[in-house]
Structure 1
Amino acid sequence: MAEGSYNQFCPVAMAAEILCTRWTMVLLRELVAGSSRFNELRRGVPRMSPALLSKRLKDLEDAGIVERRPVRGGEAISEYALTPAGRDLQPVIEAVGVWGQKWVETNASLEKLDPSLLMWDMRRNIDPSPMPDSRSTIQVIFSDQPEARRNWWLIVQQGADVDLCSVDPGFDVDLYLATDLRTMTEIWMGYVGADAAKADGRLMVTGSRRLERDLKTWFGLSPFAKVDKLVA
């Protein structure tokens, strides 16, 4: 798998040959987070080319970290699952994330904004349980983005995966969240609270009073948001 060898027997060097090729750790983050199909993984690593994604998945298969399984009833469709060796990497991935939250400067993180990645991450941390039993549609509007990347819709229904749309799904919108991309990223990462962003006018929330009132219960933040930053 390695694109270059350290020629060292040290376990750190041997593991690095597998894990430290470009995009590999980020791809593992997606697999640990639960993405399993090729298109799901693409949405979690939107700047990775499909060809490189295919290669990295094959590399991880060869290393015994990922296995590919056919989807029952799906013609020529596969999903990717972590093997025991892959699942053993979860605390490693989480530890790297905790370190990054603690020690990477805030401004350095906020220079790398990506609405599609942010919305994909937000989608999987929505908690439908405190929301109405009926379908809820939440539109997120990034006022500072070009038209093609400005509007996003989260479709939430009890007992189903949260859907993310970048094209209007045609449902009545129950709640609007209007802000700029940096502010939403700051909220998601735990750098600023939603209430504080609303108070200073950087976040506008309109629509269902219930959804707005319960925002903190269903709008999950980054799993690293509770980690205190140790650098500004």
Structure 2
Amino acid sequence: MAGYGQFCAVARAHEVLGGRWTLLVVRELLCGSRRFNDIRRGIPRISRTMLSERLQALAAIGAVERVEPGPEYLLTKAGRELAGLVGALGHWGQRWLPRRAEAEDLDLEPLLVDLRRRVDFDALPRDPLVVRFEIRGHPQHFLLLTPAEASLCTHNPGFPEPLCVQGPLAALVAWWRGDTGFAEARRMGLTVQGPRVLARAFPGWFLRYQLAGIAPAAVPAELDA
């Protein structure tokens, strides 16, 4: 594909980083994913072929290093410097794009992956437990929480299962993304079934989405129509 034909560093960087999925792959690596399947779990709509191509392209420009055995994919110094770009892009999107959870933005798997990443281990109960997610229209998922580890599973690995989160995905997304508080998410249909003490504590077990604290810009009504 022909480049922009400009000396400008913005144009040259966009040629190698502006392709579909590329910065999402970088985002997953910045969040700690190293193996192919872990990266894809955070971007479930990318094909295996496309992910392989994007990783190869990032390696070709020196942003990613492939390490054996595994293999594992690690960000180089050049790749780690993309954290500022990815953060700025997310900040802009959280501030200026509509905060409604549109249907095309609703995907349970990456939300649960992010939720697992953002566990506040100091806030968890002492004994290991499993939270079952029964989100409307999606297969069940199970989140194992221990004082030192959080794991996302497709079945209960054999621990007590005192809590079940139920309801529409839109409500869970709205809470996680910071669009609403947990009480408002409940009014949208989200419920946490189980012992009252644990159910009330559940929202505090997580640090929330990294950009949840960014307030939306005050857009004039005629522009937001």
User: Quick check: TM above 0.5?
Assistant: yes
1:113 aligns with 2:102: no
Number of residue equivalences: 219
Q: Of residues 135, 139, 145 in structure 2, which corresponds to 1:150?
A: 139
Supply the distance in 2 between the matched residues of 1:20 and 1:40 (Cα, whole angstroms). 22
Shift of 1:8: 0.7
1:215 is matched with: 202
- Contact 1:131/1:211 (CA < 8 Å) preserved in 2? no
- The residue identity in structure 1 corresponding to 2:211 is F
Question: Is residue 42 of structure 1 aligned with residue 59 of structure 2?
Answer: no
Inter-partner Cα distance in structure 2 for 1:70 and 1:209: 48
More off after superposition, 18-27 vs 151-160: 151-160
Counterpart selection for 1:187 from 175, 178, 189: 175
Whether the aligned pair in 2 keeps the contact of 1:66 and 1:86 (CA below 8 Å) is: yes
The answer to whether 1:136 aligns with 2:124 is no
Cα distance in structure 1, aligned partners of 2:213 and 2:151: 26
Alpha-carbon distance, 1:69 to partner: 1.2
Unaligned runs of 5+ in 2: none
Contact 2:128/2:160 (<8 A) preserved: no
What are the equivalent positions in structure 2 for 1:83-102 lying under 5 Å apart? Answer: 83-102=76-95
Checking the alignment, whether the CA contact within 8 Å between 2:91 and 2:214 is kept in structure 1 is yes
Amino acid corresponding to residue 67 of structure 1 in structure 2: E
Measure how far apart 1:18 and its partner are: 1.1
Tell whether the 8 Å contact from 2:101 to 2:174 is kept in structure 1 after alignment.
no
How many angstroms does 1:171 deviate by?
Answer: 3.6
Cα distance in 2 between the residues matched to 1:196 and 1:103: 22
Q: Aligned-pair RMSD on alpha carbons?
A: 1.8
SS at match of 2:100: helix
1:127 and 2:116 correspond: no
Q: Does 1:204 align with 2:216?
A: no
